[in-house]
Amino acid sequence: MAIIEIDKHLLLRAYTREDHEALFNAVDSSRKHLNPWMNWVAKTTRPEHSLEFIENTINQLREQEALALGIFLNGELVGGVGMHEWCHDTKRAQLGYWIAADYEGKGIIGKSLTAFIDYLFSKTNLNKIEIHYAAANIRSGNVAQKLGFRLEGIIRQSTLRNGIAEDKVITGLLKSERLANPG
């Protein structure tokens, strides 16, 4: 089981089936906050949907397709980080992340992603990590920039947000860049 201890209060760990209700509750309590940016939120309407997600993440990890971890603050599930679109040939993957509304703006995502990125570069043989986000999601853009991701391009009207085509921003971070600037 993947576990990343960030400090005495903050921990990233692989989801277990027993986490499904806590995961559902964290998403459900932040539905209004998350829904504009994440299409999967609207499809998560029952705890069973969170259980299906967790079971999928367990299978994806076994097949080395993805890695999803919950963010736990003082034992409470408050968000998640994930690596998906794992391409072993080119040694690259994409990051995804979310935080419950009550925990936004507290530096938890920044700390969690810093630890997760370091983990991914040291344990998975990745050479590149990308963050893709809707251009309107300024907060995600700020996260990527603070973590040292470089703008690689904008793909026009290539993502749907609330049924409307919007521009997708692509950012990337190379392992060599992270090693040169670990801060």
pLDDT, tens digit (0-9, with 9 covering 90-100), for 107-123: 999 999 999 999 999 99
| Phi and psi based region of residue 16 (left: phi greater than 0; alpha: psi -120 to 50; beta: remaining) | beta
Predicted local confidence at residue 183, as pLDDT = 65
Q: Whole-model pTM? A: 0.93
The H-assigned helical ranges of the chain are 20-29, 31-34, 47-62, 108-123, 138-146, 175-180
Q: What percent of the chain has pLDDT over 90?
A: 87
CA distance 99 to 80: 7
42-88 residue pLDDT tens: 889 999 999 999 999 999 999 999 999 999 999 999 999 999 999 99
Label residue 36 by pLDDT band (50, 70, 90): confident
**14 exposed, middle or buried (CB, 10 Å; 0-12, 13-18, 19+)?**
middle
Segment 102-108 shows an average pLDDT of 95
| Rounded (10°) CA dihedral 89, 153, 39, 147 | 80
Fold of 3-180: Aminopeptidase (3.40.630)
pLDDT tier for residue 6 given thresholds of 50, 70 and 90: very high
Under a CB-based contact definition with an 8 Å cutoff, are residues 97 and 80 in contact? yes
Distance CA 103, CA 120 (A): 24
Q: Which pLDDT band, with edges at 50, 70 and 90, does 159 fall under?
A: confident
Given strand 92-99, what is the order of strands in its sheet? 3-5, 10-14, 67-73, 76-87, 92-99, 128-134, 164-174, 150-161
Contact 126, 115 (CB under 8 A): no
Q: Indicate the SS3 state at residue 78.
A: strand
